[in-house]
Structure 1
Amino acid sequence: MTRIGLLMGATALVAAGAAYADGHSERGSDGQLNIIYWQAPSLLNPYLSGGTKELEAASLVLEPLARYDETGTMVPWLVDEIPTVANGGVSEDLTQITWTISEGIMWSDGTPLTAADAVFTWQYCTDPAGGCAQLSNYNGVSNVEAVDDSTIRITFDEPKPFPYGPFVGAQSPILQQAQFADCTGEAAPTCTEENFAPIGTGPFIVTDFKANDVATFEANENYRVASQPAFATVNFKGGGDAASAARSVLETGEFDYAWNLQVEPEILTQMEAAGQGEVVSAFGTSVERLMVNFTNPSADLGDERGTVAHPHPFLTDTAVTRALSLAIERNILVEAGYGAAGRPTCNVLPAPEVYASTNNDWCLEYNPDEANRLLDEAGWEMGDDGVRVKDGVRLSVLYQTSTNSVRQGTQALIKQMWEAIGVETELRNIDGSVFFGGDQSSPDTFQKFFADIEMYTNNFDGTDPEAYMGNWACSEIPSPDNLWLGNNMPRFCSEEYDAMVVEMSQTAALEDRAALAIAMNDMLMDAGAIIPLIHRGGVSARAASLEGVKMNEWDSELWNIAEWSRAE
């Protein structure tokens, strides 16, 4: 496929973005919608957090130009059509893409959305002092300009075969320049009022926000569809645990929607039998993985802990990380915690299928004997206490994750598996609102990663992995210099990998892009930077009375919340 042919195929996306049918005649007629995310959002600015809970809570308010529907198809959102080569929106040399904002799009304060807001958003995220968590969406962008009030022209420094990173998907919405003008660079995380209550073009506005607790919203009277949203208010509760969140929808009916139900499958089935609601699920690109810290997290290092100045004392040894992977019986983890909503995986990039590597399938075979052989050969000798030692260094790891029954169950199983090969394991769990939060003063965030191993799930918007695989470039390493807001948690750094990131941004043919993505995935696996465990399907629950939910693993789960309504 030629690079132009690849983009011409996007013309089909325009038809897919046709306006949805409107089933309600009056905005706010269905009263209050109650949502529970047991990992509470810490702010509502997705540019300052890589956490899904922040992205999704913010999506009630902030919107991109285009997004992905429940099938992974890109659809227009604040525009009438997706720019392509065929319709003239993408230049023949693939160095520019031009978006035209739909007529009449207003911010919730009644002022018009303009191209200047998009220019500002790009400048905001790419300010080197700002620590933007979504920087990879703007890779290769040399300029964003307002041709006029409704026309946005993005110029890339090289031909960009897939130019749909900036302003596409929940991770790359548009901020209002008037509100955030004084919040750029180092000031970005200090703007509490703006980060807690952004002005948006979405169906709701923020009326109150309590970090790591609860947010309340009300219908945006300036929303572009006169009869939407159907709900007048939203109570967005955070905290608790996945099981209690599931129960609040499926058994008690206290809430209408519960997210990320990482609960044992047999328990969900029992809850669903109460008849108050139903479990909804879909597979996308989510992977429960172990992130391996390539830097030393010891508190003895003071301000330099967890930085590249101090390599990890044993996790950069590929014999150790490969042994850790071989010693994990992934099928047991799936059976115990995920059921039909999980599949063993050896890749951090498991989908779409064209991008899925088969080169790491060795990890699917539980093989503690091989793990022990590798460690023996690498000089890690078994001590009298059952823990391996080399040059005075013990194979002892601190393994952290968020607080959740399935994750704690997974931790306990893996600890037993690792003990069988002489690895001492200390388990730690942190409240999800803190672990995935953006509090710069907390030592417990997953980005600071002051542990040896950490476990969580992540994914990416849409079906093209370019920006996602760019997360492991050297420039994405969290550090004090970027306010710990990078996405490269393992602190993996390779010139060869960085070169492939650049090459992918300049490669058009789908088969060539797939080959590069597979090569990057395999390099991460070979280095031992990531130990994938489970390809997860998203699992949530909706009340029986809630209509319009279209479970979406390619964008925010709340992507079409304007269409949700209460059954009569």
Structure 2
Amino acid sequence: MKLRTALLGATAAVAFAPMAMADGHEGERGRDGQVNIIYWQAPSTLNPYLSGGTKEVESASLVLESLGRFDNNGELIPWLAADIPTVENGGVAEDLTSITWTLKEGVMWSDGTPLTANDAVFTWQYCTAEGGGCAQASYFDGVENVEAVDDLTIKITFDAPKPFPYTALVGSESPIIQAAQFADCLGAAAPTCVDANFGPIGTGPFVVDDFKANDVIQFSANENFREAGKPAFATVLFKGGGDAAAAARSVLETAEFDYAWNLQIDPTVLADMESAGNGMVVTAFGTSVERLHLNQTNPSADLGDLRATAEGGPHPFLTNPVIGQAMSMAIDRSLLVEIGYGAGGQPTCNVLPAPAIYASTANDACLTQDIAGANALLDENGIVDSDGDGIREYEGTPLTVLYQTSTNAVRQDTQALVKQWWSEIGINAELRNIDASVFFGGDPASPDTFQKFFADVEMYTNNFAGVDPEAYMANWACKEWPSPESQWQGSNMQRFCDPAYDALIDELATTAGIEARAEIVKQMNDMLMQSYTIIPLIHRGGVSAHANSLGGVQISDWDSELWNIKDWYRIGE
């Protein structure tokens, strides 16, 4: 049948095979003592449904798990599920309108109670509850119902054929949470459940012993974990804060820590640190893109509670794509890679640079800096410096932007260069950097989060788990704007909205065949790029480091970097 054949094509890049990963170091659970991990962006919660930040998702992945995960090769493997449902094994309906998962037998929550299909049902209800502001809502797009057929069987029904049905409850961003613990946390009550959000009960290899927001987390081995002899480590010290350079030194030079994440520092400095011989730098390319977001709403503080909302009105000039195009043309992406990323970065003109079948070539002109062309473009559109102060005006408003990002040496270097290039085309930039723990924290009371976006331009990196971009591209639906009504949760940071784009989201959700899906995805990418509400800069590899004494690490940029921490062990002990 046509749809069945198409499903196979849509998942051709995904190998459904049981994971075979012997660590070569068998023994008792907890035999290797403590492993020390440093994420210089400190987690502010352990509930990934309340934050879109990578640091929250990855720290929570030590505790919370999903039905399937994506390994270091981007392959979908069963995790809490006994196997991966397909049309062939009867797990996916012939008409692609449902998927049925079977849980592994005997999986226990860390409190000793059994994981059941009802927990999966509850997780869907939790994320889709009105007023909850679920940061991962796009993973449940198109889900009409989730039901417990029996204690071990979960049936997910879609409102239309779903050619790639592996989104809801799959990957590190969409784990199953315990119904009993979060029962009173639905909707607007979600952020008030501090004990649950800071100490979720999970099925993963570790349990939370102590959580200090924006500081440190203490984990210990889950005595009810389903795999004998795992994890090898009895405890985990998960330290947050500081900066990328200090994190790198703590592994590569001083050997205080065993694993350091997201080492966004000068590549020559990193190589010098590695030469000390205590650890190794590891890189994995996936879909991460360092990008600029151009606010389409007015962030002026004069608007009070209406700033950066639809009710506050459009941005005074960044809704004009000509200005965004000129800002993009002025940037030398190759130089940004050279000074800040080295082998860990590649210039890109797309927000979706991978997998290769989805990568558009329609925007490649941005790979060449063109300041003269940018000036000519602005001149041709009447956006000129009428008073001779060096700053152009648009309809009487000077082109001055507040450009914010997280505190990080590479990002501040990028800001300084971009500011200079923009000044050469008559755009003035005021620079601001915010502590990463605050910027990515998701606190609805803070004015400094990337979701609130109380600035004109902001810069950060984002990506998606797995290999199919359907849920990721749905991030820019009109309904995904962060707002006070959603407690400032949402994925459409720049407040882009185009009904034609929303129509492509719907079309992609019902289109089968990887090539046909790829064409739609390219259209979506190109629509975003040519709106100039996003300016992509760097296709980033995930650059981390681990001690030479740490075995079993298989860094992945398709899921949590810590996706296989249950298999980590100490070499020679």
Residue 481 in structure 1 maps to residue 480 in structure 2: no
Q: Is contact 1:285–1:349 with CA below 8 Å preserved after alignment?
A: yes
Amino acid of the structure 2 residue aligned with 1:464: D
- Counterpart in 2 of 1:292? 294
How far apart are 1:20 and its partner, in Å?
4.5
Aligned 1:523-562 pairs, distance under 5 A: 523-562=527-566
Deviations 1:374-401 (A, max 9, x none): 1112221124221111332000000000
Deviation at 1:23? Answer: 2.6
User: Percent of aligned pairs with the same residue?
Assistant: 66
Larger deviation: 383-392 or 541-550? 383-392
Partner of 1:237: 239
1:463 corresponding residue in structure 2: 467
1:394 equivalenced with 2:394 (yes/no): no
Deviations 1:130-167 (A, max 9, x none): 00000000010000000000000000010100000111
Counterpart for residue 45 of structure 1: 47
> Aligned partners of 2:130 and 2:370: how far apart in 1?
45
For the residues of structure 2 that align with 1:536 and 1:14, how far apart are their CA atoms? 27
Counterparts of 1:1-400 in structure 2 under 5 Å?
A: 2-8=2-8, 13-18=15-20, 20=22, 23-309=25-311, 310-382=313-385, 383-400=387-404
Aligned residues: 568
* TM-superposed deviation, 1:440: 1.0
Correspondent of 2:451 among 439, 447, 451 = 447
CA displacement at 1:292 relative to structure 2:
0.8
Q: Is the 1:288–1:534 contact (alpha carbons within 8 Å) kept by the matching residues of 2?
A: yes
> Is the contact between residue 16 and residue 73 of structure 1 (CA under 8 Å) also seen in structure 2?
no
> Counterpart of 1:516?
520
Counterpart-to-counterpart distance in 1, 2:22 and 2:107: 17
Return closer, same or farther for 1:331/1:485 CA change in 2, 3 Å cut-off: same
- Consecutive unaligned residues in structure 1, runs of 5 or more: none
CA positional deviation for 1:14? 3.4
Asked if structure 2 preserves the Cα contact closer than 8 Å seen for 1:72 and 1:462, the reply is yes
> Structure 1 residue 509: deviation in Å?
1.1
What is the match of residue 416 of structure 2? 412
**Counterpart contact for 2:23–2:552, Cα < 8 Å:** no
Residue 4 of structure 1, CA deviation: 1.4
**Partner Cα separation in structure 2 for residue 521 and residue 281 of structure 1:** 25
Give the aligned residue type for 2:158: F
Name the amino acid aligned to 2:336: L
SS of residue matched to 1:449:
coil
- Alpha-carbon RMSD across the aligned residues, in angstroms, is 1.2
CA separation of 1:19 and 1:281: change in aligned 2, threshold 3 A: closer
Q: 1:366 and 1:73, CA in 2 relative to 1: closer, same or farther beyond 3 A?
A: same
2:334 partner amino acid = N
Contact 2:371 2:424 in 1 (8 A): yes
Aligned equivalents of 2:194 and 2:81: distance in 1?
A: 30
For the residue of structure 1 that corresponds to 2:327, the secondary structure is helix
Distance in 2 between residues matched to 1:78 and 1:389, nearest whole Å: 57
* Offset, 1:83: 0.2
- CA distance in structure 2 between the partners assigned to 1:269 and 1:145 by the alignment: 52
- Aligned residue for 2:35, secondary structure, equals strand
Quick check: 1:22–1:227 contact (8 Å CA) kept in 2?
Answer: no
CA distance in 1, matches of 2:155, 2:25: 36
Query: TM-score, normalising length from structure 1?
Result: 0.99
Does structure 2 retain, via aligned residues, the 8 Å contact 1:204–1:219?
A: yes
Cα distance change, pair 20–13 in 1 and its aligned pair in 2 (3 A): farther
Mapped contact 1:17–1:74 kept (Cα < 8 A): no
Deviations 1:206-245 (A, max 9, x none): 0000000000000000000120000000000000000000
Q: Is the Cα–Cα contact under 8 Å of residues 44 and 195 in structure 1 kept in the other structure?
A: yes
Separation of aligned partners in 2, 1:357 and 1:151: 39
* Per-residue deviation, 1:15: 2.2
Letter in 1 for 2:565: I
What secondary structure sits across from 1:381 in the alignment? coil
Q: Which runs of 5+ in 2 are unaligned?
A: none
Cα distance in 2 between the residues matched to 1:184 and 1:89: 30
SS at match of 1:14: coil
Q: What CA distance in whole angstroms lies between the structure 2 residues aligned with 1:352 and 1:551?
A: 17
Distance, in Å, in 2 between the alignment partners of 1:319 and 1:55 is 36
What residue identity is the alignment partner of 2:4?
Answer: I
Measured in 2, the distance between the counterparts of 1:511 and 1:128 equals 36
Distance in 1 between residues matched to 2:325 and 2:431, nearest whole Å: 20
Shift of 1:5: 2.3
1:3: how far off?
3.4
Give the SS at the match of 2:219. Answer: strand
Aligned 8 A contact 2:3 2:94 in 1: no
CA–CA distance in 2 between the matches of 1:21 and 1:274? Answer: 26
1:8–1:86 contact (8 Å) kept in structure 2: no
CA contact (8 A) 1:323 1:375 kept: yes
Which residue of the other structure, out of 437, 442, 452, is the alignment partner of 1:438? 442
Distance, in Å, in 2 between the alignment partners of 1:556 and 1:535 is: 18
Is residue 121–residue 147 contact of structure 2 (8 Å, CA) maintained in 1?
A: yes
Q: Deviations over 1:243-279 (max 9, x none)?
A: 0000000000000000000010000000001011010
* TM-score normalised per structure 2: 0.98
The CA deviation at 1:307 is 0.6
Q: Amino acid of the residue matched to residue 5 of structure 1?
A: T
One-letter code aligned to 1:385: D
Report the AA paired with residue 538 of structure 1. G
Provide the C-alpha distance between the structure 2 equivalents of 1:391 and 1:78, rounded to a whole number of angstroms: 57
- 2:119–2:176 Cα contact (<8 Å) kept: yes
1:523 CA drift (Å):
0.5
Deviation at 1:2, TM superposition (A): 4.5
Q: Quick one: distance in 2 between partners of 1:414 and 1:7? A: 44
Equivalent position of 1:424 in the other structure: 428
Separation (CA, whole Å) in 2 of partners of 1:121 and 1:478? 21
